[in-house]
Amino acid sequence: MPKVFIHEVGLRDGLQMESEIVPTGKKRDWALWLIESGVDVIQLGSFVHPKWVPQMADTDDLFFQLTDGKKQHGTIFSGLVLNEKGLERGLSCGVELFCMGVSASETHSQKNTRMSIEEALGRTIRMAKHVLSDKRKVQVSVQSAFGCGYEGLVPEENVLRIVETYLDSGLTSISLADTAGHADPNGVRRLFERVMGLSERIQVACHFHNNFGMALANCWAALQSGVTWFESSFGGLGGCPFTAVPGGNVCTEDLVHMFQRMRIGTSIELSRLIETATPTIPISLSIILNLE
């Protein structure tokens, strides 16, 4: 069976909607626990204006704390950027993998970035090329790839056009994100097979939300299509604040458990991952913040 890779996004996508600010020290502790579990990539935060996403105001500080001195582990730290200012911040504080993307929905694009799809696409490609010129890794995404909370169905051709533009620009690491949680396994398999048929050079990731309880099934469908990179959140936390009805991410510990039961290759220590996630499940975030 293929080896799969986990990109843990709980510290960014998982927390961005929470109204009560999580202290930097608590985020750092969670990151260290996730590192100990052996996840492949941890998204520590996003470089956005704190006015729009207050929970991410300490992203620079968190990167500095976790990258101070020589790393003693193989986990990669990623960060989300939306504009050139965010990119500048990320370059200065140790981001190893830059994540950036474009929505396939015009309405979602405007709400999320205050740009049209075409404006966002041009800007994203310019930033991604800057990252590559700096000898760092970059992953570009198509958000609302399986549907939009405002517009409903998003034509697959819209997604394919964006992916083809990425590929034509030399960007081959591409994530399809189910931002609104509208995906179903049949649609997932069909779209990923079409995307992966565009180029032999492409490395595809998936990002599913669990609005209708199908995120895990959608991950299975993506795996069947040849996807080996999975973005997930410990405790199933998360949701995009700029979509109509936010839903949590696919739960990392559920995803890893499924893979391990199926003897699919991942070296993540599930018990340590569960220890990290357990406080987030049965009690409110306000209580979690007071735990020692």
Q: Is 240 a catalytic site residue?
A: yes
Rounded CA-CA distance 83/78 in Å is 16
Distance of CA 198 to the CA centre of its chain: 22
HSE of 104 in the Cβ direction (CA atoms, 13 Å)? 29
Pick from 80, 75, 3: which is nearest to 42 by CA?
Answer: 75
Q: Give one word for 114, left, alpha or beta, with left for phi > 0 and alpha for psi -120 to 50.
A: left
Q: Count other Cβ atoms within 10 Å, centred on residue 172.
A: 16
In angstroms, the CA 55 to CA 16 distance is: 6
d(CA 231, CA 138): 15
Query: Choosing from 148, 219, 240, 251, which is the catalytic residue?
Result: 240
Q: Would you call 231 helix, strand, or coil by DSSP?
A: strand
- Quick check: 21 and 54 in contact, CB under 8 A? yes
Residue from 175, 277, 183, 272 nearest 227 by CA: 175
Residues annotated as part of the active site: 240
